[in-house]
Structure 1
Amino acid sequence: MELEESVKWIDDEIFAKTGKRLDSLQISILEATSQGKKYPEIAEEYKFSNDHVRKAAWKLWKLLSEVLGETVSQSNFRGLLQRGVFSNSNINNIVNSKNSKINVCSDRCHSPLTEERSPASPPNLQQTPTQSHLDLSDAPKIFTFYDRTSELTTLKQWILHENTRLLAILGIVGIGKTALAVHLVEQIKHEFDFIIWRSLATSPPLSILQTNIIQFFCRGGAPVPAPNADGVPAFGRGGAPVPAPSPEEGATTGGLPLLDYLQKYRCLLILDDVQMVNSSAQLAGIYKPGYEDYGTLFRQVGELSHNSCLILIGSEKPREIAALEGKTQPIRSLQLNGLGVEAGEILREKGLAEHEKWSELIEQYRGNPLWLKIVATMIQDLFNGSLSEFLSDDTLFLGDLESLLHQPFNRLSDSEKQVMSWLASETAPVSLSKVPENLQLSRSQFLKVMQSLGRRSLIEKIPEGDRTFFTLCPILKEYIKTNYSRPNGE
């Protein structure tokens, strides 16, 4: 069938569905794709940015997938065109395909927190704001959220306007990473077809995690992207056969089925406690044996072209993020710091008076919401709510904070513990100009350890002119002095 007739058919079908005609860019994408051109070529030829073309194409393929009843993408458009799929004579096949009752999902796909659809009515992939498929069963309930307007604005800008594909929210225990992510999801969930939250606290192997997530996709009506290992054709929505990925697609996804879904749909996938797939007693970012495929997933999510976003939440920056992130790259990380004056709300809720002393307490505990809640409770229990009495003591009280800090410190390597002990013994911020003699580390080892501690959010950097100095916050110093008696960590 001639391209001009196919474009007219597509234009008519989309107009019938949306009330809008194809615009000039969409027509250009159809024409260029039929000639085998890629997005960068289209962007250069028609004087658009590459990202703008990709986003326009993603919306177009999504619309066409809904009209046709099977997946349409840049990789299979030419084949569908050659088969004469975009014609009035094909409409009966589409209707029959949509009426098929074949279902490849078992009941195990069901999640009680998933928004349900009538089994007789397959979900519409052209989602309205109330039709996103949600599975937030692993997301915690957040009852109190303190002002993070700046951070939320930044994250929404990265995800919705700069097409960030891989994003890490990082920070020390208690800082509010998960709470921030929960509120972010609430504000942007209507922009995605699928929103899935999973915790890695139990260190699930990637194969198990993938199966679990794909079952949810299946429940939401997403077609299985490829035949199974025995060569049996997979079936998608309404029983319509789904073509296997092209050789180009198969080569880029590296055998990870989850990537096919992230490319074919606009998905928001959140993985919490991501540090739990890393080894303890080693430098930050080294995967547990058998968990290296997580690194492959993270890297390919950042490198491949798609309109989904994977958010990683943790206390350790993944090495893939560190290697790939940049202001002009679709891979970003947000280092979450403590609250400022907003933390006063925590102290008000805990019933602490003496407002003029709040800033001193907030500074000592670095505005960490959970730390402040713990210490405010202790002040009420032991000092009858008197901030003056608590702050008059030269010793910082840890109380229940000590057990909380065991978590990140138990993950440290021996060399990291030595360096942390050295930093705790220093009364002023230090430079990295030379290796302390008592550490017995080479210059290379010392720098690797400092970099690892930075990726764990355990050290503070203080820029002064063209130099940078390093120190520990008072709470971590007190913890180390309490738990490690000698500077070399012995």
Structure 2
Amino acid sequence: MTTEELLQWADDIVFTHTEKHLDSVQTAILEGAWQGLKYEEIAKKCHRSKSHIKNIAAELWQTLSELLGENIQKANARSVLERKAISNIYNYGSSSQIITSNINSHISICPENRQYPEDARNRSPSNSNSPSSQNQPTIIDLTEAPELTDYYPRPTEESTLKQWILEDGMRLVTLYGLSGIGKSALTVKLIQDIQTEFDYIIWRSLGNPPPFSTLQTELYQFFSQSQPNPCATLIEYLRSFRCLIILDDVQNLFKSGEIAGQYLAEYEEYGKFFKQLAT
């Protein structure tokens, strides 16, 4: 892990909890600790007094210790932060890239298809076959979802997503950003909080995307397995029941080096499906 990656990760963690980015002095202290510099050397680079640097450092180590649940001092800062960062990336993404952007800026919706609350309440009409109408528990398949460990709370993003999905009736929501920022973890946490609001929840990874026809068949079988009188099509299930479908790694459907939203030829049917969901 490079110094830049560590600093970006630490800044993101601090901002998530305090809504404040690391300032230049705090960044210099972290960089100096990574390089094994003494406080006196860090002070000279920052044009500050040694005592001032030590005071700021003490506050920084205390903040990081509270956020990461482990005692952090200058002597062990590099080893602890690197271990925590790598663990975070391993659990939430396959890439070692980390970005400073807060995930709140990487959530988007389809505003042209926005529903108002009264529309949302009527979107999934009562159905005699519905598990909810029979007081049956939500049917969930999270076999392809990552395990939620070392989750760093994102109350603002969690609240926004709940508002959009449960109250505003958004039909299509995307979370995007480089691997390691915590998109999948946020989604798993969201499912834990709102699962009782749905009849069906299924998570599918598109790390190695199947043809859309394969995914369509898989989704239909998942929805129909508990129904004595199956619906005729996948879309009918989505109209008749409250269904939450999570598709991870959607970026694998698109062409690289092209204008955003250009699907690979073999995955163009996915684009048609997303438009159908939104409308």
After superposition, the C-alpha distances for 1:258-285 in whole angstroms (9 at most, x for unaligned) are 2221111110110000011112343332
User: Cα distance, 1:300 vs. partner?
Assistant: 1.6
Q: 1:285 to 1:222 in 2, by over 3 A?
A: farther
Q: Paired residue for 2:148?
A: 142
In structure 1, the residue corresponding to 2:265 is in which secondary structure? coil
Corresponding residue for 2:196?
190
1:126 and 2:191 correspond:
no
Equivalences for 1:298-447 in 2 at 5 Å? 298-303=274-279
Q: Secondary structure at the match of 1:126?
A: coil
Q: 1:222 to 1:160 in 2, by over 3 A?
A: farther
1:308 aligned partner: none
The corresponding residue for 1:276 is 252
Task: Return the offset for 1:56.
Answer: 4.7
Asked if the contact 1:127–1:193 (Cα under 8 Å) also holds between the matched residues in 2, the reply is no
More helix by share: 2
CA displacement, residues 139-167 of structure 1 (integer Å, 9 cap, x when unaligned): 11121100211110110011111111100
In the aligned structure 2, how far is the partner of 1:172 from the partner of 1:214? 31
Distance 1:148 1:284 in 2: 27
1:293 and 2:269 correspond: yes
Cα distance, 1:53 vs. partner?
4.2
Matched with 1:175 is 181
Matched, 1:162 2:168: yes
Change (3 A) 1:165 1:55: closer
Structure 2 counterpart SS, 1:290: helix
| Structure-2 separation of matches of 1:264 and 1:211 | 18
Q: Which amino acid aligns with 2:242?
A: R
Say whether the 8 Å CA contact 2:120–2:168 is kept in structure 1: no
Change (3 A) 1:301 1:149: same
Q: Size of the alignment, in residue pairs?
A: 165
Partner of 1:215: 221
Q: Give the Cα separation in 2 of the matches to 1:267 and 1:193.
A: 6
CA separation in 1, counterparts of 2:253 and 2:229?
A: 29
SS in 2 for 1:197: strand
For 1:216, the aligned partner's letter is: F
Partners of 2:228 and 2:158 in 1: how far apart? 30
CA contact (8 A) 2:138 2:198 kept: yes
Contact kept, 8 Å, 1:170 with 1:177, in 2: the verdict is: yes
Q: Tell me, what secondary structure is at the counterpart of 1:195? A: strand
Q: C-alpha distance in 1, partners of 2:229/2:188?
A: 28
Letter paired with 1:302: A
Q: Which protein has greater RCO, CA pairs closer than 8 Å, 6+ apart? A: 2
Structure 1 gap ranges (5+)? 1-49, 70-122, 227-256, 304-490
In the alignment, the residues of structure 2 paired with residue 142 and residue 224 of structure 1 have an alpha-carbon distance, to the nearest angstrom, of: 33
Residue 261, structure 1, aligned to residue 268, structure 2: no
Which secondary structure does the structure 2 equivalent of 1:268 belong to?
strand
**Shift in CA distance, 56/166, structure 1 to aligned 2, threshold 3 Å:** closer
Question: Match for 1:205: what amino acid?
Answer: P
- Looking at structure 2, the residues matched to 178 and 52 of structure 1 have their Cα atoms a distance apart, in angstroms, of 27
CA distance in 2, matches of 1:135, 1:147: 24
**Which amino acid in 1 is paired with 2:133?**
Q
Q: What's the CA shift for 1:58?
A: 5.1
Structure 2: unaligned runs, 5 residues or longer? 1-114
- The alpha carbon displacement at 1:183 in A equals 0.3
For 1:62-115, what per-residue CA distance to the aligned partner results, in whole angstroms no more than 9, with x for missing partners? Answer: 1xx32xx6xxxxxxxxxxxxxxxxxxxxxxxxxxxxxxxxxxxxxxxxxxxxxx
RMSD: 2.1
- Bigger radius of gyration: 1
Change (3 A) 1:175 1:208: same
In structure 2, do the counterparts of structure 1 residues 222 and 287 end up closer, same or farther at CA, with 3 Å as the change threshold?
Answer: farther
How far apart in 2 are the matches of 1:222 and 1:146?
42
Find the aligned partners of 2:214 and 2:146 in 1 and give their Cα distance: 21
Q: Structure 1 residues 147 and 52, CA, compared in 2 at 3 Å: closer, same or farther?
A: closer
Once residues 149 and 235 of structure 2 are traced to their aligned partners in structure 1, the CA distance between those partners, rounded to angstroms, is: 34
Matches of 1:52 and 1:155 in 2, distance apart? 15
| Identical-pair percentage | 41
2:224–2:231 Cα contact (<8 Å) kept: no
In the TM superposition, residue 291 of structure 1 has moved relative to its aligned partner by 1.1
* Alignment TM-score, normalising by the size of structure 2: 0.55
Q: Deviations over 1:169-200 (max 9, x none)?
A: 11112111100000001100100000011001
The answer on whether the counterparts of 2:200 and 2:243 sit within 8 Å (CA) in structure 1 is yes
Pair 201,222 (structure 1): closer, same or farther in 2 beyond 3 Å: farther
Distance 1:259 1:202 in 2: 24
TM-score (norm 1): 0.32
The CA deviation string for residues 226-261 of structure 1, in whole angstroms up to 9 with x for no partner, is 3xxxxxxxxxxxxxxxxxxxxxxxxxxxxxx32221
Aligned counterpart, 2:119: 54
CA deviations 1:312-359 (Å, max 9, x no partner) are xxxxxxxxxxxxxxxxxxxxxxxxxxxxxxxxxxxxxxxxxxxxxxxx
